[in-house]
Structure 1
Amino acid sequence: MASDQRTTTRRRFGQAAVVVGVLAAGRALVLAGGGAPEAGVPPRARPRPPEPHAVPAGPPPGGGPAGAAHDPQSYRLRPMAGETSRSGPGASPPHPEVAFHLSTDRREVFLTFDDGPHPFHTPDVLRILRRHHVRATFFVIGENAIEFPGLLCDIADEGHAVANHTWTHPQLTTLPPGAVRSELGRTSSLIEDILGTAPDLARAPYGEWDDPALSICNELGMSPVGWAIDSQDWTVPGAGTIAHTVLSEMHPGAIVLSHDGGGDRRQTVEALDWYLPRLLDEGYRPIRIAP
């Protein structure tokens, strides 16, 4: 019965996977509204999990060159390789079961953040989203989430979606099925343990899915999500370039890829602070992705 229900849910995703300029049959995603919480609906109350490490409230003083403001290894936050093999030379073609763009008749867009949670950058991103009363989707790494479970609660309690980005950020297409199941299943179990609800969405590292990985994703009750706009923040090109990339490619229904972890994301934070109010001024409404 549970398997049938998951299969039925997955079939609902069939109308959403439309790559920019390419029609792709996929699974439909129902959009969960952003903006302020509904009146009379209190935020979820849950016990706050203890943080395993005492982490400073912000980056160490003194700044320094990009990538040197803090040591990601200190928090098991390993810098990730280029996140966007689908976007660059030699990219694999879009898989027809993965949603890259969501059909909408309104100026709704979908901001997503990968590779967190991060003790410095995730709170900064949350602060900006909160200031503008918008919602986003966070694809979290399991080995980071287990270090900072309180940040997972912060993300969920502020109305954002928490989604699965594997446990250690491997390329799933290079792994045997058992390892793929472990990467996705272990992360889903952790999210459920912390938040009380398993994730419904997953993103493969580097955007690389194949049929076996998608089958496992489906069996675990998740729908695969890609992106239509790559902010290129992982190349650390400067906040202005990141903002220009997002604004110049924005269109209704676009899923935007950014990162709140996996490296020094100060440029991502600065860019978001600049382009988000401009998106709002142009009539766009960032909302989260949800089943």
Structure 2
Amino acid sequence: MQKDQLFTRRRMLLAGVAALGSAGTAGAVLASDGEETVRAAAAPAPAAAPGPQARPALGPSAFRLQPLTGYGPPRTPPRKLKVRDEPILRISGSGRRMVLTFDDGPHPDYTPHILDTLARHRVRAMFFVCGECVVDNRELLARMAEEGHVVGNHTWTHPLLTTLGREEIRSEMERTSDIIEDTYGDRPQWFRAPYGAWNRATFQLGAEMGMEPMAWTVDTTDWMEPGTDTIVDQVESGAAPGVVVLSHDAGGDRSQTVRAIREWLPHLLDSGYHLTVPRRRV
């Protein structure tokens, strides 16, 4: 699919979702040719008002709902990948490059503000979403697609996969990939196991579904709600070429995360870091 056709499709998705709303750990290294710098100067930065009022608050999210049924042409089977023994936890290549990732969302109270901050600084990131959170927040995935972010699979209900049988794991992953494709426009090409708990079945099933396993290098510890200053310090002290930063946009009160990214993101950029996303496979 050509680039202009892809963006046209994404804009159609965004419009369609808006209309719908109004009606009702350690391991492998990702090589440098698997990434792309994204702080490009080709497009002007989207206008955004400062502060948490940059976008109107959305309605509360419902959890653990059944996925919506998608209608359309049959899906193209994903390209099967080599089964890894370890998740990817960093990238390699020249320059001061890092990847920003956010887990557990989307959430209407926090994800829009994180997206606003990323847009203000013209940075793209990865969002590992839970299928049950997508159901009532599809417009946020459509916005991620429109703004060039990479959406990954983080299961449907965020279970501890090492306690589930193979078919239960498959269901968690497949249902989430289905709703991502229905909403975002493409099937996810990346998977992250909840709690960073991997086993052979998760690697095998992910590879069957065309998804690479991604972990992280720097944990912001925002899931513990340690305070904004602590989160900022975790990112700034852990910043280094090739690291993958773990943050969360749901799963609890993420107001500290929202405030922290407004501090550490411009600091990283001013320090010469380039925030990258993995290159999508053709």
With normalisation by structure 1, the TM-score equals 0.73
Query: Contact 2:247/2:257 (CA < 8 Å) preserved in 1?
Result: yes
Distance (whole Å) between structure 1 residues aligned to residue 38 and residue 136 of structure 2 = 28
How far apart are residue 124 of structure 1 and its match? 0.2
- After superposition, where does 1:148-227 map in structure 2 within 5 Å? 148-227=137-216
- After superposition, where does 1:215-254 map in structure 2 within 5 Å? 215-254=204-243
1:122-173 CA distance string (max 9 Å, x none): 0000000011111100000100011111100111111110110000000111
Query: Contact 1:137/1:161 (CA < 8 Å) preserved in 2?
Result: yes
Distance (whole Å) between structure 2 residues aligned to residue 227 and residue 37 of structure 1 = 28
Distance (whole Å) between structure 2 residues aligned to residue 169 and residue 111 of structure 1 = 20
| Residue in structure 2 matching 1:75, options 40, 52, 62 | 62
Distance (whole Å) between structure 2 residues aligned to residue 26 and residue 283 of structure 1 = 22
CA shift in 2, pair 1:241/1:25, >3 Å: closer
Query: Contact 1:136/1:289 (CA < 8 Å) preserved in 2?
Result: no
Cα RMSD between the aligned structures? 2.4
Distance (whole Å) between structure 1 residues aligned to residue 168 and residue 93 of structure 2 = 36
Structure 1 match to 2:129: 140
Percent identity over paired residues: 46
Distance (whole Å) between structure 2 residues aligned to residue 213 and residue 242 of structure 1 = 30
- Paired letter, 2:187: A
Query: Contact 1:161/1:288 (CA < 8 Å) preserved in 2?
Result: yes
Distance (whole Å) between structure 2 residues aligned to residue 105 and residue 190 of structure 1 = 36
CA shift in 2, pair 1:186/1:238, >3 Å: same
1:93-135 CA distance string (max 9 Å, x none): xx84210111121111000000111101000000000111111
Distance (whole Å) between structure 2 residues aligned to residue 153 and residue 240 of structure 1 = 32
Query: Contact 2:29/2:91 (CA < 8 Å) preserved in 1?
Result: no
Q: Which runs of 5+ in 2 are unaligned?
A: 1-24, 44-54, 66-83
Query: Contact 1:77/1:118 (CA < 8 Å) preserved in 2?
Result: no
In the alignment of these two chains, the number of paired residues is 227
Structure 2 match to 1:33: 37
Q: Which runs of 5+ in 1 are unaligned?
A: 1-17, 40-55, 61-71, 79-94
- Paired letter, 2:96: R
How far apart are residue 37 of structure 1 and its match? 7.4
Query: Contact 1:27/1:223 (CA < 8 Å) preserved in 2?
Result: no
